[in-house]
Amino acid sequence: MAATGNEVAIRVRDLVVGFGDTTVLDHLSIDVFRGEILGFVGGSGAGKSVLMRTIIGLLPKRAGTIEVFGVDLDRVTDTERRETERRWGILFQQGALFSSLTVRQNIQFPMREFLDLSDRLLDEVAMVKLDMVGLGPDVGDKFPSELSGGMTKRVALARALALDPEIVFLDEPTSGLDPIGAGEFDDLIRTLQRTLGLTVFMVTHDLDSLNTVCDRIAALSDGQVVAAGPMTAMLASEHPWVRAYFHGKRAR
């Protein structure tokens, strides 16, 4: 089930996205395979988050097709679309936790909406999810404003995992974390991907994350994917931006 086969989870073809006169993504194509962790890099403002938000349907596109699990999201009914949406979970950059709900209620929220579970089971499952992201049960009764940055990200991940998604989108999951916390978060993503058989689409700037957890890396420059493949392929790439990124001062 989790084998990194060549089955495509997300297929993007000739995607064009722009705002006003500017074109951010220009005929971009990319495949994300089932069960892999894909790291997505690109300069600030290059359109990484735009791509993610377009795939999950928060931004409109001008041209191109997006298929998730072989379903073209433009050609489906609302019900089918919602079915597909339940198969992905999203970790927003700032966590986007609901500030008026406790951590436990935040995690339970999607389950309460979409599943018919007893209160006892809801509580237990919320605690299990918290435990999976490495937080103790005492965190459950806290409010998002009482959490540290790292804890917020973990809770947001737990909420993203609430409905057992097959794909998780992570928008800069380790930004704002110290190297130790970032390393732990990387391990966490790796473990979860192994145990749950997740497909992970990760927008990141963290070279260490790219090195340690990503199966494949895709580099975005000038609105297109200019290189995609494992780390070795990145290091071998001749594209000037990719060279600068992976051979720059901060690369090792």
Tokens of 10: 């997300």
Told to check if 62 binds other proteins by CB under 8 A, we report no
Told to check if 232 binds other proteins by CB under 8 A, we report no
The C-alpha angle with vertex 28 and arms to 27 and 33, in degrees rounded to 5, equals: 145
Q: Residue from 136, 238, 249, 252 that binds other proteins (CB under 8 A)?
A: 136
Told to check if 67 binds other proteins by CB under 8 A, we report no
Told to check if 154 binds other proteins by CB under 8 A, we report no
Helix (H) or strand (E) holding 149: helix 149-160
User: Minimal distance in Å, beta carbon 50 to other proteins?
Assistant: 24
Q: Residue from 125, 226, 231, 251 that binds other proteins (CB under 8 A)?
A: 125
User: Minimal distance in Å, beta carbon 147 to other proteins?
Assistant: 10
- Residue where the block lists tokens 């993503």: 189
Q: Residue from 15, 30, 155, 161 that binds other proteins (CB under 8 A)?
A: 161
**Smaller CB distance to other proteins: residue 14 or 195?**
195
**Smaller CB distance to other proteins: residue 196 or 226?**
196
Contact 74, 15 (CB under 8 A): no
Distance set, CA 187 to CA 19, 95, 192 (Å): 37, 19, 9
Tokens of 172: 């800069």
Rg (CA), the chain: 18
Told to check if 132 binds other proteins by CB under 8 A, we report yes
> Site for other proteins (CB under 8 A): how many residues?
34
**Smaller CB distance to other proteins: residue 5 or 137?**
137
Backbone angles phi, psi at 233, to 5 degrees: -65, -35
Told to check if 144 binds other proteins by CB under 8 A, we report yes
Of 39-47, 141-149, 168-176, 235-243, the segment contacting other proteins by CB under 8 A is 141-149
Q: How many of the other CB atoms lie within 10 Å of CB of 105?
A: 17
H-only helix segments in the chain: 48-55, 78-85, 103-114, 119-132, 149-160, 179-196, 207-212, 231-236, 240-247
| Of 98, 69, 96, the residue nearest 85 (C-alpha) | 69
Distance CA 214, CA 105 (A): 31
Told to check if 163 binds other proteins by CB under 8 A, we report yes
User: Minimal distance in Å, beta carbon 169 to other proteins?
Assistant: 19
Told to check if 109 binds other proteins by CB under 8 A, we report no
Helix (H) or strand (E) holding 124: helix 119-132
Q: Residue from 59, 196, 207, 231 that binds other proteins (CB under 8 A)?
A: 196
Binding site residues, other proteins, CB under 8 A:
1-2, 99-100, 111, 115-118, 121, 123-125, 127-129, 131-132, 136-138, 140, 143-146, 161, 163-164, 191, 194-197
